[in-house]
Amino acid sequence: MIKKPVTDEKALTPTEPAPVSAISPTGAAAPTETVAPVKTVITAQSAAPAGTVTEAPVEPVSAAGADTAATLEPISDAADGRKRIVIEGVSPEIDGGRFPIKRTVGDVVMVEADIFTDGHDALSCVLQYRRTGDAPWRESAMRALVNDRWQGEFQVLELGSYEYCVTAWVDPFKSWRHDLSRWILPEDIALALRIGEQLVKRASQRAAGEDAKWLARRAEALVSEQALDYRRQLGLDDELARLMDRYADRRLALNYSKLLQVSVDDERARFSTWYEMFPRSCSAAPGKHGTFKDCEAWLPRLAALGFDVLYFPPIHPIGRVNRKGKNNTLTPGPDDVGSPWAIGASEGGHKDILPALGTLRDFRQLVQKAKEHGIEIALDIALQCAPDHPYVKQHPDWFRWRPDGTVQYAENPPKKYQDIYPFNFETGDWQALWDEIKSIFEFWIEQGVRIFRVDNPHTKPFAMWEWLIADIKKTTPNAIFLAEAFTRPKVMHRLAKLGYTQSYTYYAWRNTKWELTEYLNELTQGPGREYFRPNFWPNTPDILTDYLQFGGRPAFMSRLVLAATMTANYGIYGPAYEMMEHIAIKHGSEEYLDSEKYQLRYRAFKELDGPNSLRDFIALLNRIRKRNPALQADRGLRFHEIGNDQLICYSKATDNLTNVILVVVNLDPNYTQSGWTNLNLDALGIDPQQPYQVSDLLTGANYVWNGAHNYVELNPHRMPAHVLRLQRHPHTERDFDTF
């Protein structure tokens, strides 16, 4: 069901969370089901001792709207002035809870919040979480940091959606226990014990079973005739504190005003290695059109290179009307194959296969064969049509018509794409158009595809993507969507918030030390780190940068190292990168000469595996990535000073610092560069008083370093980078391969 987007941000009445999708192609408003307000239910499991996880008794009840955050029951002083807690500054929280944060299966979600009250009373705080829906609430205790900042965590173990909320209350027992430890005079201690007896007695009434009996006995003991010091120690006993925490009085507990969401994806969303190739160029003989059967012969090679995603440009019938010839000419010859992005012809459209590639059965077999090699097939979904696509006749109102009676083809002045018709998303038949587009993804999911690279998603409605991706992930939670959106930052980030799993980036045009440092800090340390997963590509069929055109082999090697080690997701337009193809169609252009977008490009295995190829270097880098968990996530990236602007130095480490990788890259493809590092040893887990071993995973060389300052020299014509694994605290010669 489609719901009209909600445009105001006012608080809503408590309801169960609405679907993430704001709208669907029916155009009807979806009903919301009102549920009971939040109530505190005291049970035998109403609280958890610090550091434990239990079923949560207080069930946050949400309210959701199409464009507002899901909220809990609004709680204010007017509602109950006895609720004195303030909860604010919750992190992570995206746009006030409007969008979910993103994690992958097995991740630990760390949550922080500013939580305080008036006066000096002690607080208790818990983090509540569950699978979205009717799963039971669980909770873990939060711990105090500094300046009223609290922290807690929970682990996401399944694909799909989780929700979480912070709950806190004034804790009289904790305040009492703190005061009891400070009283000195006997009369003060005696009075405090009488107060404690009342608190413990009430807790025994909330408890059950043996716990209730134990607490009742302890309450009596606090005011017994035994020695005062002994009774004081009973009040300060850790077991008493544990049970009082478990059976805390939560009648005045406060839930944070929003129910926050986590979108949990498959591991490939966090860590993947992409290889793009045109299946029509995979034939075993020059001049012959490749097939899916031919592609099967590539699978062992790609697996050996370390790639786990094989991405195909569109595999559909290619239009004949206004077909482009070699090098994007408007005068194709009879044998020109056209651009795969000009989708649709008499043979069919987006749910059909170009006959020259094979059959649907052949494609399904290729998908299965790829999985046997640990590779997923990714498909390019380009929402546009050739002039002879069946949609043009079947649904003429899905396109824009000009006054001369012709359909508006794609333009980006001064460029013209006469072989492509864009959809008109303002058509009155937009619901049917949306449904048809979603059915394209569903069709290929039925064929075994789980990864989609979407062409120019920023030129299609945001609302459609939010609805479509959410609906797809209800039934296919391991689906991955890569946004090919080279556009303005806010637009790219919006697509990520709406559900795109990964995104292309500006990496190809970030060349200097300052550019790379600023950009990577933005991606990995800024607010986007919670939802925007970068996928670095040094080249694509559309992008051959000046750096690669004129930098030679060192440029291809250094850009590969940067892409493979700065981000956990990266890819290459494969055969062209392996062979270091660098000739542009003309000066000042980023288009390849004899671009594979418009013609077949035969490449023999003997050339791809020959001495003029980067095959071995690519395979080595991908092995390093798979053997070092530090390189399989983006959050552990840190930059380090090095005294040369042509050298960039950064590290990646696991949270527990058991795997630490330090990378130094020469950004100058022409000349040897050297400099002294100034490492942040704390970030590396290195004792400044101890030597440490540094192993270069690219060359096999080993070094012994001391402290933060160490000399580095890189000749780009030999090896333009160090990828160093750090081993802490070697003490004898037995700890080193070389001493």
As a whole number of angstroms, the distance between CA 585 and CA 573 comes to 17
Write out the H or E segment, with its range, that includes residue 469: helix 462-475
**Hunting for tokens 């609720």 — which residue is that?**
83
The per-type count for the chain, helices as H runs and strands as E runs, is: 19, 33
Question: CA-CA distance, 503 to 570, in Å (whole number)?
Answer: 10
Task: Give dist(CA 21, CA 482) in Å, integer.
Answer: 19
Catalytically active residues, by annotation: 455, 484
Q: Within 13 Å, how many C-alpha atoms sit on residue 63's CB side?
A: 18
Which region, left, alpha or beta, applies to residue 511 given φ > 0 means left and ψ of -120 to 50 means alpha? alpha
Q: Quick check: 167 and 48 in contact, CB under 8 A?
A: no
How far is residue 203 CA from its own chain's centroid? 44
Residue closest to 547 by CA, chosen among 523, 568, 570, 563: 563
For residue 704, give both structure tokens: 């012994």
**Residue 723 bridge partners (DSSP):** 663
Residue 96 region by backbone torsions, left for phi larger than 0, else alpha for psi between -120 and 50, else beta? left
Q: In what order do the strands lie in the sheet with 149-155?
A: 86-91, 108-116, 149-155, 143-144
Return d(Cα 646, Cα 678) in angstroms, integer: 15
Classify 16 as helix, strand or coil. Answer: coil
Give the closest residue to 627 by CA, choosing from 683, 681, 698. 698
CB 392 within 8 A of CB 420: no
- Long-range CB contacts (within 8 A, 24+) of 189-198: 189/228, 189/232, 190/228, 192/235, 193/222, 193/223, 193/228, 193/231, 193/232, 193/235, 194/222, 194/223, 196/222, 196/235, 197/222, 197/223
In sequence order, the 6+-apart residues with CB closer than 8 A to the CB of 554 are 666, 669, 670, 716, 717, 720
Q: How many CB atoms lie within 10 A of CB 175?
A: 16
- The closest alpha carbon to 294, from 348, 344, 369, 349, belongs to 369
Integer CA distances (angstroms), 697 to 232, 366, 662, 709, in order: 61, 34, 10, 21
